[in-house]
Amino acid sequence: MIKVNNLKKSYKDVQALNGVSFRVSAGELFAYLGPNGAGKTTTVRILTGLAKRSGGDAWINGFHIEHEALDAKRQCGVVPQTINLDNELTVFENLTIHGLLFGMPAAKRTQKIRELLDYVGLGDREKTPVARLSGGMKRRLTIARALVHSPRVLFLDEPTVGLDAGIRRRIWALIKRVQKKGTTIFLTTHYIEEAEFLAQRVAFLDEGAIIAVDSPRALMSRQGAWAIDRVVDDNVKTIYFKTKEAAREYTATQDESFSFRRVNLEDAFLALTGKKVK
């Protein structure tokens, strides 16, 4: 559904993307995980036609992002990193404008908007001005807006940034439901748990390059299964083990305090890049 070959982007003196390549299958939820400045938003902007590539090629559902730009764009719904709803307008009006941009006929548009507002739990907010919505509601509305024209691929750029844990889980549930309906999802995040919880496959992005692409489980198992953290000279030192037994044997020899936990995606990212995601 998404095919990206050696995509590059340079700004004046910054090489934001150094030639990234990956594929996302139809129906898949693909997470693009990396620290701030890694090039996540740049990738989303290029794939959704908001920025020009400097090199390489990409196709969305078979349409080339520049040679068949209009068709490619029609395949995409976008939830940008910065919420760009019109605060002066109502919930319903915001979605209507989007439907008009995509040339949807009135009856179909209204039906689809009502269906989506119910779907994201804003069915009773049609007439509310966006300015009066909470942060979580605005996120859900932005997701609804991205789905008005029934895109094949939904791009979510850091969809839960700045939201508290409870609201984040609600957005996760919504994203999973959208995927279940058959929409392919490309999600960027710098939250480890988000990628781990939602994605079938994760790409690790660092300084404009993809370091690894695999399932969360496979990426984590490169590091082992269990981890022991100890504080040594004010730094956390982590040791990895393939089995619980091996970890237990090690802890039996330790007098200092330690914490014992499962390996997570952060460990895998750290091992490959030498740095933390956040």
160 binds Mg ion (CB under 5 A): no
For the CB of residue 269, give the shortest distance to ligand ADP in the complex, in Å.
14
Pick between residue 40 and residue 145 the one whose CB is nearest to Mg ion: 40
| H or E stretch at 79 | strand 76-79
Distance in angstroms between the alpha carbons of the first and the last residue of the chain? 29
Count of residues that bind ligand ADP according to CB under 6 A: 11
* CB 152, CB 74: distance < 8 Å: no
Three-state DSSP state, 103: coil
Q: Does 38 bind ligand ADP (CB under 6 A)?
A: yes
- Judged by CB under 6 A, which of 22, 34, 95, 213 binds ligand ADP? 34
Comparing C-alpha atoms, which of 162, 200, 158 is closest to residue 179? 200
Determine if 42 is a binding residue for ligand ADP (CB under 6 A).
Answer: yes
Among the listed residues 19, 37, 49, 56, the single contact to ligand ADP using CB under 6 A: 37
Cβ at position 56, least distance to Mg ion in Å: 19
**Cβ contacts of residue 33 below 8 Å, gap of 6+?**
188, 189, 190, 192, 195, 202, 203, 204, 205, 265, 269, 277
Pick from 217, 253, 221: nearest CA to 240: 221
Q: Is 117 in the site for ligand ADP (CB under 6 A)?
A: no
We find the least distance from the C-beta atom of residue 199 to ligand ADP, in angstroms, to be 16
Alpha carbon distance 41, 81 (integer Å):
8
Q: Which is nearer to Mg ion, 40 or 73 (CB)?
A: 40
- Residue 41 interacts with Mg ion (CB under 5 A): yes or no: yes
Among 36, 111, 134, 215, binds ligand ADP (CB under 6 A): 36
Query: In whole angstroms, what is the distance from residue 45 CA to residue 157 CA?
Result: 10
User: Which stretch in 38-46, 91-99, 190-198, 237-245 sits in contact with Mg ion by CB under 5 A?
Assistant: 38-46
The footprint of ligand ADP on residues 5-24 (CB under 6 A) is 11, 14, 16
Position 96 contacts ligand ADP (CB under 6 A): no
Residue 46 CA: distances (Å) to CA of 141, 192, 244: 23, 24, 44
How many residues make contact with Mg ion (CB under 5 A)?
3
Residue 99 binds to ligand ADP (criterion: CB under 6 A): no
Distances (CA, A) of 217 to 19, 106, 213, 265: 26, 46, 11, 8
Going across the sheet that includes 226-232, the strands are 235-241, 226-232, 259-262
The answer to the question of residue 160 lying near ligand ADP (CB under 6 A) is: no
Task: Pick between residue 117 and residue 187 the one whose CB is nearest to Mg ion.
Answer: 187
Paired with 238 in beta bridges are: 229
Would you tell me which residues interact with ligand ADP (CB under 6 A)? 11, 14, 16, 34, 36-42
Would you tell me which residues interact with Mg ion (CB under 5 A)? 40-41, 81
